[in-house]
Amino acid sequence: MIRKHTFGTPFPTDAVVLSLPAEENPLPYFILTRENGQVSLTLRLHPEEKLYGLGEAVRGMNKRGFLYRSWNSDVFNHTESTESLYASHNLLVFFSPEHLFGIYLDDPGQVTWDLGYTRMDTAVITSENGDLDLYLLEEDSLPALARSFRRLTGRSYLPPRWAFGYIQSRWGYASEAEVRRVAREHRQRGIPLDGICLDIDYMEDFKNFTWRKDGFPDLKLFSTEMKQDHIRLIPIIDAAIRTEEGYAPYDSGKAGGFFCRREDGSDFEAAVWPGFCCFPDFLREDARRWFGDLYRPLLEAGIEGFWNDMNEPALFYTERGVREAFRRADELRSGRVDYEAMWDMNHVFNSIANNPEDYRSFFHEADGRKIRHDRVHNLYGAFMTRAAADSFRRFRPSGRVLLFSRSSFIGAHRNGGIWQGDNFSWWSHLKMALQMLPGLNLCGFLYSGCDLGGFGCNVTEDLLERFLQLGVFTPLMRNHSALHTRDQEIYRFSIWETMRDTVRVRYALLPFLYSEFMKAALTDGMYFRPLAFDYPEDPRAVSTEDQLLLGESCMIAPVLEQNASGRYVYLPEDMLMIRFRSPEDYDTVPLEKGDHRIRLSLGEFPLFVRKNRAVLLCSGGECSESLDDTSFTALALANSPVVCTLYRDDGQDPSPVLTEHLIRLSLDPPAGGGILRQHVSCPAG
Ligand code: MIG
């Protein structure tokens, strides 16, 4: 059951698709306080209370024990103590012997989530705007809550099937020749590959929707040739448009009046990569249409995938911020330089970027209403995504386009995927990536993944291999790294063959993983779940923080530590462990419910299959389009008939009907029960 409570005058965020009348009755569970225009909800947590949700956020799957702040931020340097990441997903689920409900705050401004931070036994959730719709969801299980939230907010985005292939990315590929070399190295060494991302280096002076002529003379020809080799180019698009007369996107944006404005009506400007820029007012329908149209030439050149960046929006500096900093420095020059003055000046200089005052200094015009940016800040990236997705629906109505964004809000999950932003080549960020996935799924973002290997700083060989072992299972499997960091393409490393075999396992699993993804998306389910969702009565399962359920049949438990020779795994029921080294070389080990120490040398990683359910392995290939999805090896631990359903489609249909694509397989257990290993054929159409 879903109930809506309205406070003040909420802004239409486009997050919710279900229209409900507002409740008259008081809100249950919470003590409500209103102070200085803010709305706070307070609740005493049960000692056993677990809190799930908040999507993109640091720390564990259970969010209890920290303070989070919904405020989309470009936080290249995030750590365990970072309160805000690139996205805001205001859904939180309460799960304890006393509670089983979720709340969603449909509020695009700043929201703080003090979840047992100030007081261990208390949650206080505060909306700064005080204008919001609050949805209360009550169902009888955690998976039912997840479905109910999707019913409220709409179906998850469907990427094309090729987007489940391996994608190589790096900030710095500046020419066709360089990109071709990356492709060639993968193909020659048998490292499967389906896509290469183009970062801002492909643009002319970092200007959106331009193409540098020296590096990329003929985009259409280039993308066509790459596609013949089954490799898609995936260019980046940033949010801002450089202020430059004669640059077509600026001229048309200016002519249409599509940019965000200052109080005095002039266009707001801030510097990002191209220098001073204007910021499209994505909250306006006409501005979205204008911006969306700018993708058209790229689509016509054969581009089928994009990533949208810098859409928090990130602001490097404004004239105001820089002047203010210089003023402070000048003051210091004439005064006494003690340590306090010095730190103060440091602080001023360090807060030039993404400064709150700048976010308060410009306005949107939505539904004819002028609204200050900070009150709707968290919508910016989501509405940029919507501009792009609407454009794809206009110009490529019969196919799916890959789209993943950095910033997002609930609602954007209908239009695209997201990546987890700029992580580091740290073991702790590998763990964080895993722990973030179920929260993202709960919020509807099924197509996601982190920068494998880590974006910032230098990766080591073992860390990249362990990242890839997680990436085998994430829908977005992309290796990405920052300019000036150690080269991170697989072929750069001494153990590249081990890494290659890990990616090859992804391709052997790809039709199966795609099937699990599509079933989850089309039934409003979750592809990744905390163990608590399926084993709520099992206290060990409920407190497991470093393993995930995947789809209907599987569980993953990646190695997350440096120099580990294996790890402990908790099995909530009897399972079959498949310990992979390559698609051809793996062990199958039946294991009983309980704790196990699993030996996993660097090139090995496990997949656990739940009893009487199956995994389907195909023979693999070098690109998603060459995979044979008519012939599989089914693996299971069975003592009764195993029924599994394979979802298969053309990978392009924008609105497939689930039942038209399901193939039902029924496999008999071996006599007396045990490991089932059977060839299955599913003839095409
Ligand atoms: O300020 O385009 O998160 O993936 O490589 C950095 C350059 C801008 C941030 C993205 C990252 C991308 C980088 N971008």
Q: How far is the CA of 406 from the centre of ligand 1 (A)?
A: 9
Task: Give CA–CA dist 629/618, Å, rounded.
Answer: 7
pLDDT per residue over 74-119, tens digit each? 999 899 999 999 999 999 999 999 999 999 999 999 999 999 999 9
pLDDT per residue over 480-517, tens digit each? 999 999 999 999 999 999 999 999 999 999 999 999 99
Task: Give CA–CA dist 217/220, Å, rounded.
Answer: 9
Q: How far is the CA of 455 from the centre of ligand 1 (A)?
A: 9
| Architecture label for domain 161-239+282-315+372-503 | Alpha-Beta Barrel (3.20)
Q: Quick one: which atom of ligand 1 is closest to the CA of 314?
A: 1
**Whole-number pLDDT of residue 643:** 87
The answer as to CATH 2.60.40.4040 being correct for domain 515-681 is yes
Element (H, E) at 5: strand 2-7
**Whole-number pLDDT of residue 367:** 79
Q: Is 309 in the pocket of ligand 1 (CB under 6 A)?
A: yes
pLDDT per residue over 234-264, tens digit each? 999 999 999 999 999 999 999 999 999 999 9
Q: Quick one: which atom of ligand 1 is closest to the CA of 272?
A: 1
Q: Quick one: which atom of ligand 1 is closest to the CA of 451?
A: 4
**Whole-number pLDDT of residue 201:** 97
Best residue among 170, 199, 488 to mutate for probing ligand 1's pocket (most ligand atoms within 8 Å of CB) is 199
How high does pLDDT run on average in the chain?
97
Element (H, E) at 462: helix 461-471
Which 8-state DSSP code applies to residue 140? S
Which residues of the chain are in CATH 3.20.20.80 domains?
Answer: 161-239+282-315+372-503
Which residues of the chain are in CATH 2.60.40.1760 domains?
Answer: 2-153
Q: Quick one: which atom of ligand 1 is closest to the CA of 236?
A: 2
Q: How far is the CA of 313 from the centre of ligand 1 (A)?
A: 12
Q: How far is the CA of 381 from the centre of ligand 1 (A)?
A: 15
Q: How far is CA 192 from each of CA 185, 195, 509, 558, rounded to the nearest angstrom?
A: 10, 10, 13, 21
Is pLDDT above 80 for 685? Answer: no
Nearest to 430 by CA among 447, 409, 452, 412: 452
Nearest to 7 by CA among 125, 137, 154: 125
Q: Is 171 in the pocket of ligand 1 (CB under 6 A)?
A: yes
**Whole-number pLDDT of residue 83:** 98
Which CATH number among 3.30.465.10, 2.60.40.1760, 3.40.50.1950, 2.60.40.10 corresponds to the domain 2-153? 2.60.40.1760
Which residues of the chain are in CATH 2.60.40.4040 domains?
Answer: 515-681
Residue with CA closest to ligand 1 atom 11: 422
Best residue among 309, 451, 479 to mutate for probing ligand 1's pocket (most ligand atoms within 8 Å of CB) is 309
Q: Quick one: which atom of ligand 1 is closest to the CA of 422?
A: 3
Task: Give CA–CA dist 358/361, Å, rounded.
Answer: 5
**Whole-number pLDDT of residue 503:** 99
Best residue among 75, 78, 236, 407 to mutate for probing ligand 1's pocket (most ligand atoms within 8 Å of CB) is 236
- Over residues 62-70, the mean pLDDT reads 98
Q: How far is the CA of 271 from the centre of ligand 1 (A)?
A: 15
Q: How far is the CA of 109 from the centre of ligand 1 (A)?
A: 24
**Whole-number pLDDT of residue 642:** 96
What residues contact residue 495 under an 8 Å CB cut-off, 6+ apart? 461, 465, 602, 603
Q: Quick one: which atom of ligand 1 is closest to the CA of 199?
A: 2
pLDDT per residue over 135-185, tens digit each? 999 999 999 999 999 999 999 999 999 999 999 999 999 999 999 999 999
**Cis ω for the linkage preceding 313 (within 30 of 0):** yes
Q: Is 406 in the pocket of ligand 1 (CB under 6 A)?
A: yes
Side-chain-facing half-sphere of 44: CA atoms under 13 Å: 2
Q: Quick one: which atom of ligand 1 is closest to the CA of 200?
A: 2
Q: How far is the CA of 366 from the centre of ligand 1 (A)?
A: 29
Is pLDDT above 80 for 338? Answer: yes
Q: How far is the CA of 324 from the centre of ligand 1 (A)?
A: 27
Residue with CA closest to ligand 1 atom 13: 171
Residue with CA closest to ligand 1 atom 4: 422
Best residue among 354, 407, 422, 485 to mutate for probing ligand 1's pocket (most ligand atoms within 8 Å of CB) is 422
Q: Quick one: which atom of ligand 1 is closest to the CA of 406?
A: 3
Q: How far is the CA of 513 from the centre of ligand 1 (A)?
A: 28
Q: Is 199 in the pocket of ligand 1 (CB under 6 A)?
A: yes
Torsion sign, CA atoms 317, 372, 294, 405: positive
Share of the chain above pLDDT 90, in %: 96
Q: How far is the CA of 239 from the centre of ligand 1 (A)?
A: 12
Element (H, E) at 324: helix 319-334
What residues contact residue 278 under an 8 Å CB cut-off, 6+ apart? 240, 241, 242, 243, 250, 253, 254, 259, 260, 267, 268, 269
How many C-beta atoms lie closer than 10 Å to residue 343's C-beta? 10
- Over residues 369-373, the mean pLDDT reads 95
- Over residues 421-436, the mean pLDDT reads 98
Task: Give CA–CA dist 177/585, Å, rounded.
Answer: 36
Q: How far is the CA of 236 from the centre of ligand 1 (A)?
A: 9
Q: Is 312 in the pocket of ligand 1 (CB under 6 A)?
A: no
